[in-house]
């Protein structure tokens, strides 16, 4: 393990129950890989779907985005800033993610111009692609402290 959850929380503002990366296992100059253990105890399984629990696709995309944000937010110019999900293209879901799965989350930086960037992302279970797509992000200043 390269980063544990505490290091991840130092890089991105997400917190449980909306933090979808347990650990970062690989970091390169332009790529990163993380993992999420899907235990079956997560809040979303209560209604998605009773008797046949599956991780919602939008949360798989969010997990890929958070993993990519861990890569981007290591850049010295971006530390202390907030990563925002700005868009997605060509997202496809290839197989379901269920309790007991370990989701491997991969992101590769395609480009970054100023505070806007794009990554190619994949989520895999046991080496099989569960989801993939191109995710765009922007980086903003710190969150307001006046409750907005």
Active site residues: 48
User: pLDDT tens digits, residue range 88-116?
Assistant: 999 999 999 999 999 999 999 999 998 89
Average pLDDT, the chain: 94
Residue 78: the pLDDT is 85
Stretch 17-41: mean pLDDT:
98
The H or E element containing residue 24 is strand 23-27
Q: Tell the residue number behind the tokens 């970054």, with chain if given.
A: 112
Farthest CA pair distance, the chain: 47
pTM above 0.85, yes or no: yes
**pLDDT tens-place string over residues 107-145:** 999 999 988 999 999 999 999 999 999 999 999 987 656
Q: Tell me how far apart the alpha carbons of residues 46 and 53 are, in angstroms, rounded to a whole number.
A: 8
Long-range contacts of 120-127 (CB under 8 A, 24+ apart): 121/64, 121/65, 121/67, 121/68, 122/64, 123/60, 123/63, 123/64, 123/97, 125/95, 125/97, 125/101, 126/101, 126/102
Surface-to-core class of residue 84, CB atoms within 10 Å of its CB (0-12 exposed, 13-18 middle, 19+ buried) = middle
Evaluate if residue 68 carries a pLDDT over 70. yes
Q: Is the confidence at residue 84, as pLDDT, over 70? A: yes
Where residue 1 falls among pLDDT bands split at 50, 70, 90?
A: confident
- Domains within the chain, CATH numbers bracketed: 5-140 (3.10.129.10)
Q: What pLDDT score does 145 carry?
A: 61
What pLDDT score was predicted for residue 56? 98
- Given a cut of 70, whether residue 11 has pLDDT beyond it is yes
Q: Is the pLDDT of residue 146 over 70?
A: no
């Amino acid at each position: 393990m390269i980063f544990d959850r505490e290091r991840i929380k130092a890089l991105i503002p997400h917190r449980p129950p909306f933090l979808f990366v347990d650990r970062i296992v690989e970091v390169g100059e332009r790529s990163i890989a993380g993992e999420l253990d899907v235990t079956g105890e997560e809040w979303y399984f209560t209604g998605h779907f009773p008797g046949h629990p599956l991780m919602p696709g939008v949360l798989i995309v969010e997990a890929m985005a958070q993993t990519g944000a861990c890569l981007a937010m290591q850049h010295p110019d971006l530390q202390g800033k907030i990563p925002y999900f700005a868009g997605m293209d060509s997202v496809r879901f290839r197989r379901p993610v269920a309790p007991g799965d370990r989701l491997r989350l991969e992101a590769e930086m395609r480009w970054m111009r100023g505070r806007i960037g794009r990554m190619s992302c994949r989520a895999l279970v046991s080496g099989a692609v569960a989801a993939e797509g191109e995710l765009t992000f922007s980086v903003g200043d710190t969150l307001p402290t006046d409750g907005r």
